[in-house]
Amino acid sequence: MEFTTIAKAKKQTGLAYLGNVNSSAKLLHSQVMSHQYTYIIYLAPASTSGYNVCSHSTKECRLGCLATSGRAGMELISGGCRIKNARIKKTKLFYEEPEFFMEWLIEEIKVAQKMAIRDNFFFSVRLNGTSDIDWQNVKINGLSIFETFPDILFYDYTKNHNKFINIPQNYHLTYSYTGRNWNKCQLLLKMGYNIAMVFNVKHERELPIMYKGYEVINGDLTDYRVSDAKGVIVGLKWKRIGNREIEKEILKSCFVVQPNETISNVQVSELELAV
């Protein structure tokens, strides 16, 4: 396949777009709280397309992936699969026609950036909405996407600790807690990086102030992670998914931090301070 224009790419593939701007409730928070227009791509997570886009995924994150929340989750509950199928098609396009995909991606980012400038908003890009691809290794005309757009700030969440080696200056990463990687989390926290952690709380005010001696900030106020303080835990409330039985299983797993754990850790921190 040969890319010429976005309009022709849509006709060739049957896809409406690769990515979109502020296409979720949380990204709309970014627009309000951080004055950001964020371009984001949602691919088919883990190996659901036949290609593995999440090399360091765990059983819990595969079961509770946000690909089954929000509009996609509502569609699955109603028996639809349009969003799921579109994400699979995009993922296959990325692996089977990489040059076509990347040229289309570059043009969409240019259009989105112009829209942000027109509307007097800052502009950022999150390429891994429901994936964990190492975009540093994806080249087009010999350049990574970060080198292609050196003036644009990119950010992502990742479970792949290897990505923190030689991070591009315009790429911000937040490491994701799995319930089994606390040692790596501690190492990265000490290096000044941040950790995203899911808490089983119902309201934003219930997020703990501290966890295991580290400050917890409210990561649900905005999705834009670039301006976060350094060396903190980004607290995220559990987001409901379509399958309620699976949700119950995940909420009991090590992936989600329980309220009693946070109370215990706050008490320990207070005792340490008292001493």
β-sheet bridge partners, residue 154: 125, 171
Q: What's the mean pLDDT in 122-127?
A: 97
The residue-averaged pLDDT of 1-18 equals 97
Q: What is the pLDDT of residues 147-181, one digit of tens each?
A: 999 999 999 999 999 999 999 999 999 999 999 99
- Report whether 104 contacts 5 (CB < 8 A): no
- Residue 77 has a CB neighbour count (10 Å cut-off) of 13
CB 27 within 8 A of CB 220: no
Question: Which whole number is the average pLDDT over 200-217?
Answer: 87
pLDDT for res 78: 55
Token output for 15? 């896809």
- Give the strand pairing for 171-176 and 153-158: parallel
Beta-carbon neighbour count of residue 2 at 10 Å? 10
For the chain, the structural domain boundaries read 6-159+172-274
The secondary structure of residue 29, as a DSSP letter, is H
pLDDT surpassing 90 at residue 259: no
Contacts of 96 (CB under 8 A, 6+ apart): none
Query: In this predicted structure, what is the pLDDT of residue 89?
Result: 98
Q: What is the pLDDT of residues 15-47, one digit of tens each?
A: 999 999 987 888 888 998 899 999 999 999 999
Rounded Cα distance, 91 and 47, in Å: 10
